[in-house]
Structures are given as C-alpha cells and as structure tokens.
Amino acid sequence: MSSVTTLPFFRLILIYISGLLLVSYYLANRVITLMLLVGLIIVYLAVYIRSGTTTSAWLNLIGLLVVFFIGYSNLLLSIAEKTRLPKWIEDNQHLEGYSVCIEKVYHPLSCKALITHIRDQTGWHNNHTYIQLYFSKQSSYKPKKGDRLLIAGTPVRRLSFDRVQHANYLIPLPCIHRHFLKQIDQDFRLVNAQLFYRSGKWAASIKKWCSQTFQKQLKEQQSIALVSTLLWGDKEGLSLDLQKAYADTGTIHVLAISGLHVGMFYVLIHTVCRFIFSSISRFILPELSTCLWLWLYAWLCHFRPPILRATIMLTMARLGFLIGRGSNSYNGLLASAFTLLLWNPCLLFNCGFQLSYLATLGILYLQPYIYRFIPLQNYWLQKIWTATTLSIAAQLSTLPLILYYFKQFPLYFIVANWLVVPAIFLILTLSLGLLVVSHLPIVNKLLGCTLEKLIFATNEWVCCVAKWPMSRLSPCLVNGHTVALLYIALLLVCLFLNIKILFTLL
C-alpha cells in the first residue's frame, strides 16, 4: 500500500471523519462550535502570514484542527436541518397544501413520497420530509415513481415529535406523517414536474424516452424492469422473487447502481470515442469526451454516492494520465470520499456509501495479495482467476457489514458472479445499442430479441443457483461490536501480509 506521505487526502479524511464520529457521542452548541471554528481559521491565517511558510508544525496542527471542526460543525448543521423541517410542519397545523414527489411504490394504494414544498398563509416554503400516502380503492389514480402531486390539506402525524427528537439523528427516520387521499382533482392532482423542478426536466425527458423505447422494443415486462434497474437503479418493476434470488446468490450488487456499472460504461464509451476520434486525436479528445459522458450519466442517476465515487476516481485518473503525472487509486478514492462527505456528512452513516467504499478499498488492497496465491500461465484461466479474486476481495472487505445489515451471507457468490457479471456487461451493451438503432426496423427487432433471451438466461441462472442446497448462511445475528472485532481481525491480517512481504524483501 502507498505510504501516507503520498496520500495527501489520508490525513484530511481521517481527521474529518473523526469530527463526524464525535457528533454521535456529543452534541455541542452550534453557535459556540461555529465561533470556535472561525477563531481557529483566524489563528491559522495569522500564523501563516507571520511564518510565511506552510511547513510549520504549528500551522499543520492548527490546519488539522480546522478540518476536524469543519467536520463536526458540518454534521451539526445537517442534524439541525433534519430536525427543523419536520418541526416546521408540526408548528403549521393548518397548511393550505403541499407538493410531493413519489419515491417508492409499496402497493397500488400506498407509496412513500418526499414533501418538497409546503404552503401556509405566507406562501410556499421548501421542505424535505418523507410522508406515507394512502389512496382510496375508488380512486382512478395509481401511484408511479417520479410522479409529483399537489395535495390539499394538512398531513396527519404518525410519529410523535418527541420520539423523533430522541431518535438517532444519523439514521434515516421512517415517514413521520401520513395522508389518506380519496379522489384525484378533489384531494390532490397530478402536476407538471416543471412547476417546482425546472432543472430536472431534461433528465426526466431523457429517461422517459429511454423507457418508452424499451417498452416498444421489448415484450417481457421483467426484461424491461431489469434494463431499467441496470441503467437507473429503479427496482420497482422487478418481481420480489427475482430480487430475492439475486440477494441469495450474492449478485444483488449488479441491481444497485455502483462503480461496476460506471466501469462498464467507461469501457463502452471509451471504445466508441476512440473509434470516432481516431483520425483527429488519439488521447485527449477520447478521454475528455468519455469523462463528459460519465458525468452526464451521473447526472441522470441523480448523483448517487456510488456513481459519484467511481466517476470522480475515473476522472482524476484520466486527467492525471493526460497531464503526464499518472494517478494513485487510493488518492482518487479518498478524494471522492472527502468531496462527498463535505457535500453531505450524513452519507458516512449510509449503508450504500459504506459498502461502496469498503468494496473498492478491498479490491484495491486485498485483490493483488489474493491473486498471487495461485500463479497461472494460461490466459483464459488468468482472466477467470482475476474475476474470482475481485469478487473475493470485495466480499471480504464488506463481509462484516453484510452480516450486520442483511443478516445473511451467500455461499455461492463466486460461482454466480462468474456468469452474471459478464452477462450484465452484455445486457448493458445491447441495451445502449438498442437505444441507438431503435429506428432501424429489422436491426432493432433482432437486437431486442437477443437482449430478451440473454436477460431470460441470466435470470434463470440466478434462480437456479438460489435453489441449490445451502445457498445462503442465515440468520447471522451480528451487532456493532462484532463488526468492529471482525474489521480489527481483517486489519491484523493485512498488517501480517505487509510484514511478511517486508521480511521476504530483507
């Protein structure tokens, strides 16, 4: 592993995360904390002006304290905002109405929505509170993800605010409010997304066009649902049995938008860009255009943390290649984590954020050690062993968290991933190709038929592996202390490997 001196973000993110973790044990007064932060910044500037250098030991110490308090105060402000918004609705018992965006549909008559704006006697105000919506059986409206509703009246509280105040602010709360709706155009109405979100209309239009294209070209609803899941992470259309099969086989990660998808998109787009710009520029234009397309994809996926992590890492690596300075994968990983935690410090306690970064760290650090255990000469065996070691490294680094969050562990994840990951790459390739040739009559039919058969074969393989005996180890009741002990044991193994290599070199 690279030394700490070559990882400028290592100390920064270590101190910053320490400030975030302190919030979970001690909540200080926000005003005093911000005053202390401002005072430290003033002291830092004064010492810098007086010394005229950035190598001073005192200056480095004060700088690290500034980073620590930035993390602490950033999370304090985020917690204050999270508790202020539900309280606002509590204080306004007679709202004229509010607007919501449906985020998850549980049932044709029930859904989870995000309150984006509320209206009282003084006008419209921004909000960010979740609500459970229930619709009458007589209602002609069926909720869909992404729909925006304008609802009249005041939501009903389902959790007391005292319970909300005593909850762990770092863990996402359930829906605090609920509302029973009877008839469309009476209790609520469907509104244009541009009414409140003009900036998101282009992304919604692009995704809508892609969805309509797949609806025309593919016949099987599960095929359409899987393609939408792989492209945008929308799992609502997938059957619960199929999702459970992917979870039981350890291939559920392909259904969650992650760095794997970004890496696949990078390979596809970079190949196309190199072919297009081969006669103009061999390096600069293909690399810059590929990075631009990756950021466009991140925008379409609403800048989800795993997407941003992979996009930032790839962008830093390719820019470093273009300017001739090379790149350090660990620096890219730490830089992306530091950027995301500055933007939203609560991500540190998000399951997806933790699994994404630990899986990437395991791949970067553990995979080379595991790969050297079995030296192979055959080219194809090397490729298979490389894919196997990548899967093992990711599973090892995330094993404690998988046991903690999901209470089970898939035993056949290696065998299942051998075929699923390449199949997913082919499915993504054919899906993008189908969008490109959607107006060519014969080609689109042939490509659509091939795509459906490939999806069917992949789902059948996953369901078949899920039915094997002892396909998963469950239930695994693991608490926070056990997770900490497992990671300490993993860290000791990594230290042992480093010491062993050091003694071998000596």
pLDDT tens-digit profile of 120-142?
Answer: 777 887 777 788 898 888 877 88
Expressed as residue numbers, the domain containing 228 is 203-470
Share of the chain above pLDDT 70, in %: 87
Once rounded to an integer, what is the mean pLDDT over residues 52-78? 84
Whether residues 293 and 374 share a domain: the answer is yes
**pLDDT reported for residue 454:** 94
CA nearest to 158, candidates 142, 138, 172, 178: 178
Cα 32 to its chain centre, rounded Å, is 34
- Average pLDDT across the chain, whole number: 82
How far is Cα 83 from Cα 500, in angstroms, rounded to an integer? Answer: 50
CA nearest to 439, candidates 213, 231, 209: 213
CA nearest to 342, candidates 9, 1, 6, 3: 9
**pLDDT reported for residue 197:** 47
Whether residues 375 and 309 share a domain: the answer is yes
* 487: in domain: no
Report how many domains make up the chain.
Answer: 3
**pLDDT reported for residue 163:** 42
Map residue 267 onto helix, strand or coil.
helix
How far is Cα 480 from Cα 62, in angstroms, rounded to an integer? Answer: 33
CATH number, domain with residue 183: 2.40.50
Once rounded to an integer, what is the mean pLDDT over residues 243-253? 89
How far is Cα 306 from Cα 351, in angstroms, rounded to an integer? Answer: 11
Task: State the DSSP H helix or E strand holding residue 115, giving kind and residue range, or none if neither.
Answer: strand 110-120
H helix and E strand count, the chain: 16, 9
* 243: in domain: yes
The angle, 0 to 180 degrees and rounded to 10, between the axes of the packed helices 351-371 and 305-322 is 50
* 490: in domain: no
Does position 381 have pLDDT exceeding 80, yes or no? Answer: yes
State how far the alpha carbon of 334 is from the alpha carbons of 48, 116, 344, 490, in Å. Answer: 26, 32, 15, 20
Boundary (domain end) residue, out of 15, 46, 80:
80
Whether residues 19 and 154 share a domain: the answer is no
**pLDDT reported for residue 500:** 64
Whether residues 186 and 260 share a domain: the answer is no
Does position 298 have pLDDT exceeding 80, yes or no? Answer: yes
Residue 199 or 221, more confident? 221
**pLDDT reported for residue 434:** 92
Beta carbons of 269 and 290 less than 8 angstroms apart: yes
* 505: in domain: no
Place of tokens 């630990």: 358
Residue 157: φ, ψ to 5°: -75, 130
Pairing of strands 123-135, 110-120: antiparallel
Once rounded to an integer, what is the mean pLDDT over residues 256-269? 87
The partner residues of 184 in beta bridges, in order of sequence, read: 188
Does position 160 have pLDDT exceeding 80, yes or no? Answer: no
Whether residues 328 and 410 share a domain: the answer is yes
Tell me the three-class secondary structure of 132-191, residue by residue. Answer: EEEECCCCCCCCCCCCEEEEECCCEECCCHHHHHCCCCCCCCCCCEEEEECCECCCEEEC
Whether residues 175 and 260 share a domain: the answer is no
Place of tokens 């509104």: 191
Whether residues 213 and 353 share a domain: the answer is yes
Whether residues 24 and 119 share a domain: the answer is no
Boundary (domain end) residue, out of 59, 80, 101:
80
**pLDDT reported for residue 54:** 67
Does position 174 have pLDDT exceeding 80, yes or no? Answer: no
Whether residues 132 and 262 share a domain: the answer is no
* 11: in domain: yes
Residue 468 DSSP code = S
Residue 55 or 443, more confident? 443
CA nearest to 313, candidates 299, 293, 298, 327: 327
Does position 427 have pLDDT exceeding 90, yes or no? Answer: yes
Once rounded to an integer, what is the mean pLDDT over residues 16-38? 87
How far is Cα 355 from Cα 79, in angstroms, rounded to an integer? Answer: 23
**pLDDT reported for residue 459:** 93
Whether residues 156 and 30 share a domain: the answer is no
* 486: in domain: no
* 483: in domain: no
Share of the chain above pLDDT 90, in %: 18
Boundary (domain end) residue, out of 143, 168, 195:
195
Once rounded to an integer, what is the mean pLDDT over residues 209-224? 88
**Per the structure block, which two tokens stand in for 356?**
């994404």
State how far the alpha carbon of 319 is from the alpha carbons of 67, 190, 272, 313, in Å. Answer: 27, 45, 19, 10
**pLDDT reported for residue 166:** 37
Beta carbons of 410 and 248 less than 8 angstroms apart: yes
* 488: in domain: no
State how far the alpha carbon of 123 is from the alpha carbons of 98, 119, 150, 179, 372, in Å. Answer: 11, 5, 14, 21, 65
Whether residues 280 and 306 share a domain: the answer is yes
**pLDDT reported for residue 309:** 85
Task: State the DSSP H helix or E strand holding residue 293, giving kind and residue range, or none if neither.
Answer: helix 284-300
Task: State the DSSP H helix or E strand holding residue 33, giving kind and residue range, or none if neither.
Answer: helix 30-51
Does position 145 have pLDDT exceeding 70, yes or no? Answer: yes
Whether residues 331 and 255 share a domain: the answer is yes
Does position 30 have pLDDT exceeding 90, yes or no? Answer: no
The tens digit of pLDDT for each residue in 198-213 reads: 445 677 788 888 888 8
**pLDDT reported for residue 171:** 52
Task: State the DSSP H helix or E strand holding residue 130, giving kind and residue range, or none if neither.
Answer: strand 123-135
